[in-house]
Amino acid sequence: MTFCPSSYTLRGPIILKDKFGSPFLIRLYQKEKGDYVPLKEMYQGFEPKEATQGLPPRSDCSRERWLKSLLRGGTNLLAIMEEKVVGHAVLLEIEPCRRCEYLVFVHQDYQNRGIGTALTRVVRDLAEEMGYCQIWLTVEAINFKAIHVYEKVGFCLVGPREVECEMVINLKGGDEGP
Ligand SMILES: CC(C)(COP(=O)(O)OP(=O)(O)OC[C@H]1O[C@@H](n2cnc3c(N)ncnc32)[C@H](O)[C@@H]1OP(=O)(O)O)[C@@H](O)C(=O)NCCC(=O)NCCS
């Protein structure tokens, strides 16, 4: 898969190819482009609901509330393939200008093609550009696929491996950076 961080810019979409050579793009969520409805539809069709850490919520009402809070409070990226929203990644600030939390969902029909990894790499680079020192996340210990993706992009497990575990990646420029 082609991923070119040097061509990465906050403003423009990034065009990539999945493991089968099909193109998809990653760009920031833009309300004014009408992104809300296709994103909501991705989560309507997302199965199984509540698969990981109770997300995405099962009831339409809770799911909409959850999604709107992510859109209001975070930096949101979309993966778009075949003119559909197929993936959604979010950075939520925990500590102003220092630490943010990450979460990512790829629609089940589009998983295992490299989209989750690409979103995670773009988010890592974006967080670095935004000046964050660290991205933090929690993941269920049995979510081996997500853990594999996070480790591939440079996240490390920290703390005890219980029902949920914590992972972090330190970014360049931060005190904790490599
Ligand atoms: C986790 C998730 C975002 C990954 O997205 P994706 O597009 O399927 O990921 P990719 O295709 O980029 O990579 C999947 C990797 O996991 C590997 N994988 C697949 N099943 C696996 C398993 N059971 N155990 C370990 N690795 C597995 C694949 O081989 C691939 O690795 P490789 O590229 O090194 O071969 C997606 O599966 C998802 O949305 N899951 C449900 C929601 C979720 O769990 N979100 C994360 C927690 S908030």
- Give one DSSP letter per residue of 16-68, joined into a string: EE-TTS-EEEEEE--GGGT-HHHHHHHHHS-SSTTTBTTBS-SSHHHHHHHHH
Total tally of structural domains belonging to the chain = 1
- CATH code of 49's domain: 3.40.630.30
Q: What is the pLDDT of residue 6?
A: 41
Q: Does a structural domain hold residue 177? A: no
For the record, the structure tokens of 30 come out as 């833009």
Name the pTM for this structure.
Answer: 0.93
**Under a CB-based contact definition with an 8 Å cutoff, are residues 90 and 43 in contact?**
no
Give the structural domain span for 76.
Answer: 5-170
Q: What is the pLDDT of residue 171?
A: 96
pLDDT, average across residues 38-54? 97
Q: Is the C-beta atom of 148 inside 6 A of ligand 1?
A: yes
Task: Flag whether pLDDT at 9 surpasses 70.
Answer: no
Q: Does a structural domain hold residue 84? A: yes
Q: Is the C-beta atom of 107 inside 6 A of ligand 1?
A: no
Name which residue sits closest to atom 35 of ligand 1, judged by CA.
112
pLDDT tens digit sequence for 59-101: 999 999 999 999 999 999 999 999 999 999 999 999 988 999 9
Q: Does a structural domain hold residue 175? A: no
Q: Does a structural domain hold residue 28? A: yes
Alpha-carbon distance of 109 to 39, in angstroms, equals 15
| pLDDT classification of 174: cutoffs 50, 70, 90 | low
Sign of CA dihedral 66, 143, 100, 15: negative
